[in-house]
A and B are shown apart, each in its own frame.
Chain A
Amino acid sequence: MLIIRQTELDSLRRHGEETYPRECCGVMLGRIEGDERVVDAVLRAGNTRVDSPHNRYNIDPRELVRIQREARDRGLDIVGFYHSHPDHSARWSQTDLAEAHWIGCSYVITSVEKGVATVTNSFDLRGAGEEDKCFVDEPIRVLAAEAAD
Chain B
Amino acid sequence: MKILIPTPLRQYAAKNHAVDVPAKTVGEALSSLTSQYSDLRRHLYTDDGQLRAFVNVYLNDEDIRYLQKENTPVRDNDTLSIVPSIAGGCCRGGCCCCPR
- CB neighbours of B11 from chain A (8 A): 104
Q: Which one of A4-12, A89-97, A136-144 contacts B?
A: A89-97
Q: Which of B61, B86, B93 contacts A102 (CB under 8 A)?
A: B86
B43 contacts A129, CB within 8 Å? yes
Interface residues on chain B, number (Cβ under 8 Å):
31
What CA separation (Å) do A12 and B23 show in the bound complex?
41
Q: Does A54 contact B (CB under 8 A)?
A: yes
Please determine whether A78 and B7 come into contact, CB atoms closer than 8 angstroms. Answer: yes
Residues on B with beta carbons closer than 8 Å to the beta carbon of A129: 42-43
- Name B37-54 residues within 8 Å CB distance of A: 42-43, 52, 54
Q: What is the interface size of chain A, counting residues whose CB is below 8 A from a CB of the partner?
A: 43
List 17 additional A-B contacts (Cβ < 8 Å) besides A55-B91, A87-B97, A99-B85.
Answer: A27-B86, A52-B89, A55-B89, A57-B88, A58-B87, A59-B87, A61-B83, A62-B58, A78-B6, A83-B88, A86-B99, A88-B95, A94-B92, A95-B88, A104-B8, A130-B43, A130-B52
